[in-house]
Chains A and B, each alone.
Chain A
């Protein structure tokens, strides 16, 4: 009795520490859970440069919000965009608008103009090789005489053959966005759009920032609609997805958490007709959650929102210990003091905790930092809830506290009518039928490892994203080529080799184009080759330049002056010079620079469809230093690998749990595990019949099901006498609550959580139904 009191006081002290730490975290430090979905993905360390290239691409994209304001008429679109922009301009602490500067526009050209002689398109290079002198004479005269001879960027004499103009036109076509009336402009057949590129000054993934930015965007949208009622607004940005994911997860935390709690409260009331057990169970769950959060924060220094969502389902398991104790208290003799009762229950309780912790630790074996955190959070939560039950319940619940109700009596009576498996012909037939049905069901299971399982943005965000990328023809940040070399020149030359293949892909309409540094700064080798071509085919004696002079009545002096002017612009353009000018600003993210003597760049693809990926990625085959990077496929392959890997972990866990239980249950050990194993198989078969695709999260749920199901097996085997209804009541109550909590997780709109919830729902229900069938027959009582 004294020991019980000491233990209770000691635990009270620990709980005070927990409460203090939690109060400090929430009230003083004001912690905010992470919402970044990428934080849930595995960190890959095998290729730092590849990783760097990816974060480079993602960082460039993450802080951006792109808004298109469209209307059939340009003036309407402009008015709406101005109204939209005015709202955002008032909050310079949140948004940084990119000004459209006339000056940068002309600076943009001047650098290239100084090096124009060597800047040719690939098509022009081919024409220089193959077209006769007459072709170039005609081109130059046409340009000279025509009043509107094409976009001309200097005087005729500075670019008589229109080569530089053609190169600039090709560059301009890397984006359909054009300056117009001080705005950025893009159009499709129906509407004209003002493009508003915005840069966030606040971190896109912080929830406080999202709470500021989203209402602001809505306000701006309202202003735009007021200015032009029929305006079309298209918005895209990481922050919109992040905010949506946070809102969705927060909503789910409250539905799942509250639903689960309500279920528990109702069940308890019907079972014990008292609020004391309810409050005690809630106490154990509450201490479990707070303790898990505290220690998790100390361990990881952060907590992800998904961890909390998953943690909400912890309620379903953490209650088992309290329920088990309460049910036994209800059934036990009033003469038996609570501490003595606990002492009797402790082996079973200890085993249930151990099995559940093993179940959760299986999750910690994955390389996903998020899952690891969830596993640690859940296991800790269970340990804290368990300790609360063990330390406090005997002191708080006297032998006469609980009364049983009609529901309990009725439910308990059902156990006697439950079939009990015996070694006979019926059992054999049932086993064969089950094996056949399960085998067929499982054979129908497909597999799905798509990254979209992790996040499921709402349709309107996807639609906006699609429309935006179509209008802007922007490259995808997750699929690209990574080019490496030991010098800038090597990288540029390797890019050019790759581009020669990509040009064929573009001609075959597999991609619409590509962005590369060498588009702007060709390699020194290419520039030299092109310069030599221009000399040989255009400027040489007897060439087109002389023919032009003859046609227009000019003399040798004019020829010399013109050729001299052109040659003065023949110095090669260097990457260094380009990177120094503001003109390179939109392309700088493609250049990764030097890391440990290795230079690297990104060649990004525009208009790449998923169907074309297998062919397009082959462009890297056999090219030294060129590598295809596909983050989507990479994550999917990780998901797939771990689905298989976790399958083996589940099987291994059965072996470990069996070994763990064997010393206590000996020949009855299989009876503890069989219900869970059969329920798992049946669940897989049912998923197969429902044409579901197996994914990592189904397998993870099976792992957890092992932890939960073994609890029920242990409860039943701890009280082998069929007339003892206590374990049956404990199983029923905790299974009902588990189903409530995980069943609600099945309502999650995130496919991963839904799969997890559905598996738990089916599995737990099946274990509940099957577990009495494996009760021991009376003979085995004497074991």
Chain B
């Protein structure tokens, strides 16, 4: 849940230096399938400081190249987040709970860009904002993203990405002790991956 904040901040921060990390980003890039359309299931578990139980949620997500991201929480209650080039909209049921328009909020396009990179594992893009460090073997990879700016790190801590042909898990943890784990499964690619309902939402 701090992702949005981190992205907003990240967008505001200077990419210091262009030093490339030791990890072979090119190797990971080659391993990623990067389909034009990709949908799947996510299971999210949030452990917040000051709350006893972890908060579990699940739903479906779609990442469409050149278009954006659709994030549909189904459990414990339905909520849809749609990020496109021109706006970010959050629906609670049919009601628009939040809308950010690129016309009035110019960072919308950057947020969309970073989020798209995270979900599709585009480390080349992420490298401008994060130091990338990790390991690669034959069929999987694992990287830690450490914000290049100290202030950003203080705010969101680090992000851990695991994957193979696709990103499999994202773990975000910050200094305050909040921790969000998102596990992706049942990933399908190609036009058929998107249900009619989802296509209509885009």
Contacts and interface: CB of A to CB of B under 8 A. Distances in A.
Q: Interface centre among B98, B100, B180, by most A CB within 10 Å?
A: B98
Contact of B71 (A139, A147, A153, A558): A147
Given A105-B12, A156-B48, A558-B50, A143 B106 contact: no
Contacts of B81: 146, 148
Given A150-B90, A176-B104, A138 B77 contact: yes
Contact of B97 (A105, A139, A147): A139
Interface in B46-61: 46, 48-53, 55, 57
B1 A147 contact: yes
B38 to A, nearest CB: 17
B52 A142 contact: no
A182 B14 contact: yes
Interface string B1-15: 111110010011111
A147 B100 CA distance: 16
A182 B12 CA distance: 7
Interface in A116-149: 138-139, 141-149
Interface in A545-560: 551-554, 558
A152 B50 contact: no
B97 A180 contact: no
Interface string B73-102: 100110101010000001010000110101
B158 interface: no
A173 B44 contact: no
A151 B106 contact: no
A470 to B, nearest CB: 12
Given A139-B97, A142-B92, A561-B50, A151 B55 contact: no
Nearest to A148: B4
B57 A145 contact: yes
A169 B11 CA distance: 16
A5 interface: no
B126 interface: no
Contacts of A178: 11-12, 105-107
B11 A173 contact: no
Contacts of A187: 102, 106, 109
Contacts of B104: 173, 176
B1 A142 contact: no
A368 B104 CA distance: 43
Interface residues of B, number: 47
B106 A147 contact: no
B14 A181 contact: yes
B145 interface: no
Interface string A526-568: 0000000000000000000000000111100010011000000
Contacts of B48: 155-157
B176 A155 contact: yes
B46 A151 contact: no
Given A150-B98, A156-B48, A553 B71 contact: no
Contacts of A152: 1-2, 4-5
B183 interface: no
Given A105-B12, A147-B3, A152-B1, A176 B106 contact: yes
B18 to A, nearest CB: 11
Given A106-B151, A139-B92, A147-B44, A173 B105 contact: yes
Nearest to B99: A150
In terms of DSSP, what is the predominant structure of the interface of chain B? Answer: mixed
A176 B106 CA distance: 7
Interface string A159-174: 0001000000100110
A179 interface: yes
A155 to B, nearest CB: 6
B147 to A, nearest CB: 13
Contacts of A552: 51, 53, 55
A551 B48 CA distance: 15
Contact of B92 (A138, A181, A182): A138
Nearest to A154: B5
A183 to B, nearest CB: 9
Nearest to B150: A102
A523 to B, nearest CB: 26
A712 interface: no
Given A180-B107, A180-B110, A143 B1 contact: yes
A144 B49 contact: no
Contact of B115 (A148, A176, A179, A558): A148
A309 interface: no
Nearest to A473: B104
A341 B76 CA distance: 113
Q: Which of A105, A139, A146, A162 has the most CB of B within 10 A?
A: A146
A152 B182 CA distance: 19
B170 to A, nearest CB: 9
A214 to B, nearest CB: 31
A142 B79 contact: yes
A186 interface: yes
Interface of B: 1-5, 8, 11-15, 44, 46, 48-53, 55, 57, 71, 73, 76-77, 79, 81, 83, 90, 92, 97-98, 100, 102, 104-107, 109-110, 115, 149, 151, 176, 178, 180, 182
16 contacts: A105-B12, A144-B46, A145-B55, A146-B81, A148-B4, A148-B71, A150-B4, A150-B100, A151-B5, A152-B2, A156-B48, A157-B50, A178-B12, A180-B11, A180-B12, A182-B14
Interface of A: 102, 105-106, 138-139, 141-153, 155-157, 162, 169, 172-173, 176, 178-182, 185-187, 551-554, 558, 561-562
Given A141-B77, A144-B55, A152-B1, 8 more contacts: A142-B77, A145-B46, A145-B77, A155-B178, A180-B11, A180-B110, A187-B102, A551-B76
